Chain A
Amino acid sequence: MRRYSLLAALVVLAFVMLFPFLLVGLNAFKSPEEYSSAGPLAFPDGLYLDGIVAFWERVDFGLKLWNSLLISACVAVGAVVLSVLNAYALGIGRVRGRLWILVVFLVANTLPQEALVYPLYYLAKQVGLYDSRLFVILIFTVIQAAFGTYLLSAVLGRFPAEILEAAAIDGAGKWRALWRIVVPISRPTLSVLLVFFFIWTWNEFFLPLVFLISNDNQTVPVALGVLQGDRLMDATMSSASALLGIVPAVVFFLIFQRTLTRGIAVGAIK
């Protein structure tokens, strides 16, 4: 009996979670006339693909995908490397005042991005990187690494000292211990971080909106904003674009799903 009620609760929860996707999917394949006459909840009469095709061509979606992929991949890799180096110093190296350093990182994490915009804008203009993807990559590498450092420091703080001592006796220096011992052993955690950083960066809207000015540099979420007019919106085309925007993140999630679950499952090191 309890199992069935649990099942029912899960089904309801799943439906609530999936409902927005369902709505987007439903409206993406509807013509604007159908949307206006039958409303957002009706099933489409037939498959209407013009919205998706028109949106793809209008914003040159292939290019946006490439931009998003490039930026997210660079950030994910860069931020993980940076986090590992920081966390190695803070968690294992036990640098003096590491608690305060971590607090600073944590505070940096809670800073709203709106507060960063103007300083970053003047910085970007000074170094000539305004409207360049490289600048966005640098910003997000640092932002994501702040969180990564905080998390990894906690993980590495519990790293078994015996293993490191054994490595030191065998003649491994600090650098070698990091890449040969610490990184391989914490790989599951690092993969999870990599996937998270990728998806978070992929979904970022505000800073890319501000720093990627020309259409050739824009990312997927910024391109989706093109459809929002002054007073009007095109609901079906917005749905089509939202569908195109979600799909890559979902695909990426499905590919790395196993890494994610494994990373969460690996709590302790034997």
Chain B
Amino acid sequence: MRKSPLLVLMAVLLTACGGTESPAPQASGSAQARTLTLWHYEGADSAMGKAWAEAIKKFEASHPGVTVKFEAKGFEQIQKTAGMVLNSDEAPDIMEYNKGNATAGLLSKQGLLTDLSEEAAKRGWDKALSASLQTTAKYDERGIMGSGKWFGIPNYAEYVMVYYNKDLFTKHNVAVPATYEEFTAGLDAFVKAGVTPIANAGAEYPAQQIFYLLALSKAQRPWVDSYQLYKGKVDFHGPELTYAATTYADWAKKGYVDKDSAGIKAEDMGVAFMSGKFPIMVSGSWWYGRVQSTVKDFEWGSFLWPGNQMAPGSSGNLWVVPENSENKDLAYDFIDITMSKEIQNLLGNSGGLPVAADPAAITDAKSKELVENFNKLSGQDGLAFYPDWPAPGYYDVLVAGVQGLINGTAPDAVLDEIAAPYEENLADIGG
């Protein structure tokens, strides 16, 4: 019997894949050759990418004999596979992971993340981070954020602000508003001139953040604690959400947001603003670096949503140390370096929003504006997290709800629609 050439080919190929399989085992413990495996998913040109590249350099300089094996990951890959990876011996020593109950909270509940409480106290991370930033770093035994043990350390923060096109503001004689009344008067002026004032994206997060801003304008901190941390009952037909729904519907009618914006995606909204088509975009600091580097044709600036004590915002994603990490001590050292003034200032000067920078060291004018607005918001305890956080899958519920408002569904019906999944989740977690 002759061997088929196909079989031979296959055998050769299979041997070829077998050859390079398992990576060399890590020599943990020995002083000479240690490796810190590090994963994150920030772009190399982003503020975090730049700051962390510098942190790796600093770490290697202060830890002779340790090499950092950095692997750039995709957000989706981490989001989908983290639970499985961390439960195996392929887990990295330190990684960036998504904040929130469904992500970091869930993994902490499953015992896959290392408790960082002791290190946080010893190294002073707990003092460097303000109270509302700590909310997303701590998780209780149910995996719900806000209290309990430290499972992650955020390096950066984010918040939602109003980006505006200074050229269009001057052209239409609109001043930067200090109060909510001035703000709506400005919006009216744009509408009168035939310009849709606010770039909106109903198919993704931007529309619901405007909705949440409107609710926050009537809310106090206890309402946010009830809504986000289940510390009390939320009345979906109470003054906060009723105001938000009716006002949003009203805004769509008045033409503050485009009537066709229900199907627009965030990326298109950003591009439309950056090409100068809209005077205003309401969105998060994650756009800041990009707006800064792309917009060349007009002057732009940002301000906090007028009249609000609070705005959507929180810490950024977290450094977590997997329970299966073989080099936890090195991982702690690395986090400590990312929290140092030098790295934090670099993050701030690259267009990011540092959590523990020295405000005087932020030299870039635009970055200064970003950091100062954040400090103002954070100083008045104004980080109210994001509207889709309270329940799994709530993001899509809110997208559909706000799209309804844009398309003319009655506000009351929309409130019922978004109340049901929230209450259901509340019953599930026994809140």
Chain A interface (Cβ < 8 Å from any Cβ of B): 32-33, 35-40, 58-59, 70-71, 73-74, 77-78, 80-81, 121, 125, 130-134, 137, 175-176, 179, 209-210, 213-216, 222, 225-235
Most buried by A among B74, B267, B284, B294: B74
Q: Assess whether B286 is in contact with A230, with CB atoms less than 8 Å apart.
A: yes
**Interchain CA distance A133-B81 in the complex, whole Å:** 17
Further pairs besides A215-B71, A231-B286: 9, Cβ < 8 Å: A33-B294, A36-B275, A59-B72, A81-B10, A125-B88, A134-B14, A176-B1, A210-B84, A222-B77
Q: Assess whether B90 is in contact with A130, with CB atoms less than 8 Å apart.
A: yes
Q: Assess whether A231 is in contact with B294, with CB atoms less than 8 Å apart.
A: no
Chain A residue at minimum C-beta to C-beta distance from B265: A233
Q: Assess whether B10 is in contact with A74, with CB atoms less than 8 Å apart.
A: yes
**Interchain CA distance A230-B77 in the complex, whole Å:** 11
Pairs A-B, 9 closest by C-beta atoms: A225-B74, A226-B74, A36-B294, A36-B274, A215-B71, A131-B90, A74-B13, A77-B10, A213-B90
Q: Assess whether B17 is in contact with A231, with CB atoms less than 8 Å apart.
A: no
The interface-forming segment of B41-49, B145-153, B223-231 is: B41-49
Q: Assess whether A229 is in contact with B275, with CB atoms less than 8 Å apart.
A: no
CB-CB under 8 A from A71, the residues of chain B are 17
B8 CB to nearest A CB, Å: 10
A79 CB to nearest B CB, Å: 10
Q: Which of B9, B75, B276 is A229 in contact with, Cβ under 8 Å? A: B75
A246 CB to nearest B CB, Å: 18
Q: Which of B7, B16, B22 is A132 in contact with, Cβ under 8 Å? A: B22
Chain B residue at minimum C-beta to C-beta distance from A121: B84
**Interchain CA distance A179-B16 in the complex, whole Å:** 25
**Interchain CA distance A213-B14 in the complex, whole Å:** 20
Chain B interface (Cβ < 8 Å from any Cβ of A): 1, 4, 6-7, 9-10, 13-14, 16-18, 21-23, 41-44, 46, 71-77, 80-81, 84-85, 88, 90, 98, 205, 266-267, 270-271, 274-276, 284, 286-287, 290, 293-297, 317
Q: Assess whether B43 is in contact with A229, with CB atoms less than 8 Å apart.
A: yes
Known interface pairs A130-B90, A131-B90, A209-B77; A70-B13 also in contact (CB < 8 Å): yes
B159 CB to nearest A CB, Å: 13
A29 CB to nearest B CB, Å: 17
Chain A to chain B contacts (Cβ below 8 Å), 6 pairs: A33-B294, A36-B295, A70-B17, A71-B17, A130-B90, A227-B43
Q: Which of B10, B21, B297 is A37 in contact with, Cβ under 8 Å? A: B297
Q: Which of A33, A222, A227, A229 is B296 in contact with, Cβ under 8 Å? A: A33
**Interchain CA distance A35-B210 in the complex, whole Å:** 26
Q: Assess whether B76 is in contact with A228, with CB atoms less than 8 Å apart.
A: yes
Q: Assess whether A37 is in contact with B75, with CB atoms less than 8 Å apart.
A: no
Q: Which of A32, A70, A179, A233 is B267 in contact with, Cβ under 8 Å? A: A233
**Interchain CA distance A89-B270 in the complex, whole Å:** 59
A85 CB to nearest B CB, Å: 11
Q: Assess whether A232 is in contact with B287, with CB atoms less than 8 Å apart.
A: yes
Q: Assess whether B41 is in contact with A229, with CB atoms less than 8 Å apart.
A: yes
**Interchain CA distance A128-B420 in the complex, whole Å:** 45
CB-CB under 8 A from A228, the residues of chain B are 74-76
B323 CB to nearest A CB, Å: 16
**Interchain CA distance A101-B46 in the complex, whole Å:** 54
* Majority secondary structure of chain A interface residues (helix, strand, loop or mixed): helix
**Interchain CA distance A39-B18 in the complex, whole Å:** 47
A226 CB to nearest B CB, Å: 4
B56 CB to nearest A CB, Å: 15
Q: Assess whether A225 is in contact with B88, with CB atoms less than 8 Å apart.
A: no
Q: Assess whether B17 is in contact with A137, with CB atoms less than 8 Å apart.
A: yes
Q: Assess whether A32 is in contact with B90, with CB atoms less than 8 Å apart.
A: no
Q: Assess whether B271 is in contact with A39, with CB atoms less than 8 Å apart.
A: yes
Known interface pairs A77-B9, A179-B4, A230-B317; A225-B76 also in contact (CB < 8 Å): yes
Q: Assess whether A214 is in contact with B23, with CB atoms less than 8 Å apart.
A: yes
Q: Assess whether A210 is in contact with B274, with CB atoms less than 8 Å apart.
A: no
**Interchain CA distance A225-B75 in the complex, whole Å:** 8
CB-CB under 8 A from B72, the residues of chain A are 58-59, 215, 226
**Interchain CA distance A227-B77 in the complex, whole Å:** 11
Chain B residue at minimum C-beta to C-beta distance from A229: B75
Q: Assess whether B44 is in contact with A58, with CB atoms less than 8 Å apart.
A: yes
**Interchain CA distance A38-B274 in the complex, whole Å:** 10
**Interchain CA distance A125-B13 in the complex, whole Å:** 23
CB-CB under 8 A from B1, the residues of chain A are 175-176
Q: Which of B44, B81, B286 is A209 in contact with, Cβ under 8 Å? A: B81
Q: Assess whether B271 is in contact with A35, with CB atoms less than 8 Å apart.
A: yes
CB-CB under 8 A from B297, the residues of chain A are 37
**Interchain CA distance A234-B41 in the complex, whole Å:** 13
Q: Assess whether A133 is in contact with B17, with CB atoms less than 8 Å apart.
A: yes
CB-CB under 8 A from B284, the residues of chain A are 231
Known interface pairs A130-B90, A132-B21, A228-B76; A70-B84 also in contact (CB < 8 Å): no
A241 CB to nearest B CB, Å: 11
Q: Assess whether A78 is in contact with B296, with CB atoms less than 8 Å apart.
A: no
**Interchain CA distance A131-B71 in the complex, whole Å:** 14
Q: Assess whether B13 is in contact with A213, with CB atoms less than 8 Å apart.
A: no
CB-CB under 8 A from B13, the residues of chain A are 70, 73-74, 77
**Interchain CA distance A198-B317 in the complex, whole Å:** 38
A84 CB to nearest B CB, Å: 9
A179 CB to nearest B CB, Å: 6
Chain A residue at minimum C-beta to C-beta distance from B295: A36
**Interchain CA distance A134-B84 in the complex, whole Å:** 18
CB-CB under 8 A from A33, the residues of chain B are 293-294, 296
Q: Assess whether B266 is in contact with A209, with CB atoms less than 8 Å apart.
A: no
CB-CB under 8 A from A59, the residues of chain B are 72
Chain B residue at minimum C-beta to C-beta distance from A175: B1
Known interface pairs A58-B72, A70-B16; A229-B90 also in contact (CB < 8 Å): no
Chain A residue at minimum C-beta to C-beta distance from B85: A213
**Interchain CA distance A215-B37 in the complex, whole Å:** 12
**Interchain CA distance A130-B80 in the complex, whole Å:** 16
Q: Assess whether B296 is in contact with A134, with CB atoms less than 8 Å apart.
A: no
